[in-house]
Amino acid sequence: MIHLLDAFQKMDRRWVFLGMVLAILVPLQCPLEADFQVAPEVQDVYDEVEKLPAGSPVLISGDFDPASLPEIGPFYTTHLHHLFRNDLKPVLVTLWPASIPIIYPEMERIANIYGKEYGTDWIFLGYKEGKELVVKNIGQNIHQQFPSDHRKTPIAELPLMKDLRQAKDFPLITSISAGAPGLTEYVLQIQGQYNLNIVGACTAVIGPDTIPFHKSGQLSGLSMGMPGSAQYEKLVWKGNPPDGVQLLATKSMDVLNVGHLYIIILILLGNVAYFLTRRAKES
């Protein structure tokens, strides 16, 4: 027994990496389909969308890059489906230049699925440099900050933007953020000043920094990391997505669970092996 534990401690690390590869691939090929609960803060995001009457505009700030796409990309896609399905009208902006090739084609694709018309049912205003100042200007005067949209069309000529002059004209704002500038800046710069209704989605690593905003009521709802995205998928699709819609976050939950379990087992075995072999050597 001691010999096996000693061999375990000296095991080539490549076997550990191979085990992690299997912990990722096996759940993807053979889904466990384990059920999970929806956190109250994610339920709040869903409820805020459901409260809006048809035709309401929703401002979305998509501020993430390819590195954070697996975590919050599924939330973004599901959120667009949720909005268009409820006949809401998203207006998209971004504070990150790397977001443009991610968020714009996806919104265009989903808008086409629902037969939505650009300029009337949805708009992409594009990217502006300036970080917190852009957020501040969105609160004061969107037309001044974005005189034209991503397609170089003056936004004054777009029917959807006719009565949308500043952030408070949107009954709901969604910030999908992987860092700064993003969700925190929207809360600190304009939420309190204009008493805005904001929901957010963020990566798991910045989740602890944003939870107090939800607890204090400054955020009406919050989704954190891939688990939050999976929970939102569960609420929107209720396990029955239409053809062509993949529940990417839900499928990835099996990978997270098995991967974390694998790491925990290694830690436990490593500690047991260390203490038992040390005791054997001392005796």
Residues 151-159: what's their mean pLDDT? 90
* Residue 261 binned pLDDT confidence (cut-offs 50, 70, 90): confident
> According to the model, what pLDDT value does residue 269 have?
76
> According to the model, what pLDDT value does residue 266 have?
80
Q: Indicate if the pLDDT at residue 281 is higher than 70.
A: no
Q: Are 219 and 162 in contact (CB under 8 A)?
A: no
d(CA 45, CA 247): 18
Residue 38 CB neighbour total at 10 angstroms: 15
* Residue 23 binned pLDDT confidence (cut-offs 50, 70, 90): confident
Listed by start position, the domains of the chain span 40-246
Q: Are 93 and 177 in contact (CB under 8 A)?
A: no
Q: What percent of the chain has pLDDT over 70?
A: 91
First-to-last alpha carbon distance for the chain, in angstroms, is 15
Instruction: State how far Cα 174 lies from the chain centre.
Output: 10
What's the CA dihedral at 68, 71, 75, 76 to 10 degrees? 10
Q: Indicate if the pLDDT at residue 45 is higher than 80.
A: yes
- 128/32: higher pLDDT: 128
3-state secondary structure at position 237: helix
d(CA 283, CA 271): 18
Q: Indicate if the pLDDT at residue 5 is higher than 80.
A: no
**Strand bridging mode 198-202 / 172-177:** parallel
Q: Indicate if the pLDDT at residue 194 is higher than 80.
A: yes
In this structure, the chain runs to a length of 283
* Residue 26 binned pLDDT confidence (cut-offs 50, 70, 90): confident
The CATH fold assigned to 40-246 is Rossmann fold (3.40.50)
Q: And the tokens for 229?
A: 């995205």
Q: Indicate if the pLDDT at residue 2 is higher than 90.
A: no
- 193/43: higher pLDDT: 43
> According to the model, what pLDDT value does residue 85 have?
94
Residues 221-228: what's their mean pLDDT? 91
- In sequence order, the 6+-apart residues with CB closer than 8 A to the CB of 9 are 270, 273, 274, 277
Q: Indicate if the pLDDT at residue 74 is higher than 70.
A: yes
Query: Strands, E, within the chain: which ranges?
Result: 57-63, 89-94, 123-127, 172-177, 198-202, 221-224
Q: And the tokens for 2?
A: 């001691």
- Per-residue pLDDT of 85-130, as tens digits, reads 999 999 999 999 999 999 999 999 999 999 999 999 999 999 988 8
Residues 250-264: what's their mean pLDDT? 75
Closest CA to 132 of 175, 188, 83: 188
Q: Are 96 and 65 in contact (CB under 8 A)?
A: yes
> According to the model, what pLDDT value does residue 6 have?
64
- The pTM score is 0.84
